[in-house]
Amino acid sequence: MEIVEFYNCGNRDHWLNEIKCSDWDAGQFLYELISDNRLKELCGERTRVFLLTDGDNLVSFCTYAEQDDIRVPSMTPWVGFVYTFPEYRGKRYIGRLLEHVCEQAKNDEYEYLYVSTGEIGLYEKYGFSFWKIMKDVHGEDSRVYRMHIDGKVLETERLVLREMNMGDHDALYAVLADTDIMQHYPYTFDVKRVREWIERNMNRYRVNGFGLWAVCLKENGEMIGDCGLTLQNIDGEMLPEIGYHIRKDCQHRGYAKEAASAVLDWAFENTDYPALYSYCKYTNEASYKTAEAIGMHFEKEYPDEVNEITHVSVIYRNER
């Protein structure tokens, strides 16, 4: 499959006819706008139409435009007219287009990418977060979602760490609701707790500039866990702690160490904390062994109500 830009391709008539074949009123409207040379007049001269193609077949399409049906000059760019043909649905092909659009927005040095929609639950799957309800040019309410373009925080040899969002719920549930992985945690996770976990970390990004980030395989973008820096109450002090959780079928491959090591380097380079910590229940040997693998060492153990005994590892800035 290949992504092409309509205005820069050599067979516009073919692809325009493919757009016309969509079983969607908005797709027909897009066809009319392009045919009448009104799309750029309506959405801005830099508007592009991205097509995901499979040979001569059109799989998905969307627009990347300066403005949408919500006209706020500071809010740009917008993704719109997002559509996948029925025979290709259910395989997340639109994600390829949205990823391409996101890269374009990043190259254009935008901070956010916006979408105006009546859909609930669709764009969250692809990294967008609901922002607010706004009035469109017709005076009707529209749900505005946005994606922070620079969501990627860290990159290692095999992994990408990025800000998590509600679209990560199912992938994270597979990790946190696994009783084997979380056997040392004080309670089990259900759908509500996983959602609250994501919300807390999204708030941490805004307040602290860091939190637990989604750990994704570089080869395909699949989320396999989380890892990052948070402030935790460790024996009565709020201290910077590196935490990590990796899906069961991806354990014993060095992913936790690889992610945690990158977080450690990031934390010392981007904060002024004199030391970084990792803590866990004293029986969680796998966790504190990972901490030791990235250069931490035993600091202390102390009794508490949650873990009975908490094991603390630490590394000081001058020990790097």
State the pLDDT at residue 150: 62
Structure confidence by residue, pLDDT tens digits, 13-68: 999 999 999 999 999 999 999 999 999 999 999 999 999 999 999 999 999 999 99
For residues 124 and 168, state if they share a domain.
no
For residues 135 and 199, state if they share a domain.
no
What's the domain count of the chain?
2
For residues 306 and 265, state if they share a domain.
yes
Please state the pTM of the whole predicted model.
0.60
For residues 63 and 156, state if they share a domain.
no
For residues 180 and 247, state if they share a domain.
yes
- CATH number of the domain bearing residue 96: 3.40.630.30
Give the pLDDT mean for 312-319: 96
Structure confidence by residue, pLDDT tens digits, 199-248: 999 888 878 889 999 999 999 889 999 999 999 999 999 999 999 999 99
In angstroms, rounded to a whole number, what is the distance separating the alpha carbons of residues 65 and 71?
12
Place of tokens 């004293």: 282
In angstroms, rounded to a whole number, what is the distance separating the alpha carbons of residues 284 and 48?
52
Q: Rounded mean pLDDT of the chain?
A: 92
For residues 285 and 300, state if they share a domain.
yes
Distances (CA, A) of 117 to 68, 124, 141, 155, 319: 11, 12, 9, 32, 51
For residues 192 and 209, state if they share a domain.
yes
For residues 310 and 177, state if they share a domain.
yes
Distances (CA, A) of 21 to 14, 47, 83, 87: 11, 22, 12, 13
CA 218, 223, 224, 225 torsion-angle sign: positive
In angstroms, rounded to a whole number, what is the distance separating the alpha carbons of residues 40 and 62?
14
Q: Which residue segment(s) compose the domain that 251 sits in?
A: 152-319
Structure confidence by residue, pLDDT tens digits, 118-161: 888 778 777 777 788 999 999 999 999 888 776 778 899 999 99
Distances (CA, A) of 265 to 31, 53, 155, 160, 274: 50, 41, 12, 15, 13
Q: How many CB atoms lie within 10 A of CB 211?
A: 23
Please identify, among 148, 169, 197, the residue that sits at the C-terminal boundary of a domain: 148
For residues 36 and 57, state if they share a domain.
yes
For residues 160 and 144, state if they share a domain.
no
Q: Of 37, 64, 38, nearest to 50 (Cα)?
A: 64
Please identify, among 92, 125, 148, the residue that sits at the C-terminal boundary of a domain: 148
For residues 120 and 218, state if they share a domain.
no
Please identify, among 94, 116, 148, the residue that sits at the C-terminal boundary of a domain: 148
For residues 125 and 253, state if they share a domain.
no
State the pLDDT at residue 109: 86
